[in-house]
Amino acid sequence: MEDSESIPYIEMPKAIQVADLNDDDNDGVINARDKCTTTPKGVVVDNDGCEQLIKNTEQQRLHILFANNSSQIPPSFLPQIRRMADFLKLYPEATIQLSGYASKTGTSAYNQNLSEERSQAVRIQLIRFGIKPNRITILGYGDSNLLIDRDDQLSHAQNRRVTASVVGIKGDYLKEWTIFTTLPE
């Protein structure tokens, strides 16, 4: 049996920290593993420290009717155009395409021009309400794309129109639950 005095003493090695165990953005993921170092405060993060983005989409439609042989916007449709302008201001990345149409009275060439004039009139009004011109495109379909293909006054009135549909997309971060979080009513 060996004597305990004959076993040489070996000093324990000192631990050297090679990784940064700090959490500078306070998201619960250490800097050494954090792939998203500028996480907003109070959001849910994954194992890499990246926030979860949730998309919110909203849609707005435009449907303007015109008098026969006219590209003048009836005053009753101005509030609808204003709402569209306000919607576009909420979603600054969104663009709008205005589609103009005409009824089948008159020549096709005349109706094509009239449908473009109608789209242009709505475009000008959106610009007056503060929308940048480069966000608006116009198309004229003339009488080639009728909503109702009948030859009566009501059908003609419904075909004299400008329409548009815009989808706005905004992102928000999934919020972290805390004891101070309030529930929606």
pLDDT digits (tens, 9 = 90+) for 122-138: 999 999 999 999 999 99
Q: What are phi and psi of 146, to 5 degrees?
A: -75, 140
Per-residue pLDDT, 173:
63
Alpha carbon distance 157, 69 (integer Å): 11
Six token digits for residue 31: 């800097």
- In order of start, what are the domains of the chain with their CATH numbers? 1-51 (no CATH), 54-172 (3.30.1330.60)
**Residues in contact with 71: Cβ distance below 8 Å, sequence separation at least 6, in sequence order:** 114, 117, 118, 120, 121
Residues pairing with 175 in the sheet: 43
pLDDT digits (tens, 9 = 90+) for 31-41: 888 888 887 77
Give the residue from 142, 52, 63 showing the smallest Cα distance to 104: 142
Q: What angle do CA 6, 12, 16 make, to 5 degrees?
A: 160
Per-residue pLDDT, 179:
61
Per-residue pLDDT, 2:
54
Reading the chain (185 residues) residue by residue, the pLDDT tens digits are: 555 567 888 888 887 766 667 888 888 888 888 888 887 777 788 888 888 777 777 888 999 999 999 999 999 999 999 999 999 998 888 899 999 999 988 899 999 999 999 999 999 999 999 999 999 999 999 989 888 888 888 888 898 899 998 887 776 666 666 666 666 66
The pTM assigned to this predicted structure is 0.64
Per-residue pLDDT, 124:
97
Per-residue pLDDT, 83:
94
Per-residue pLDDT, 82:
96
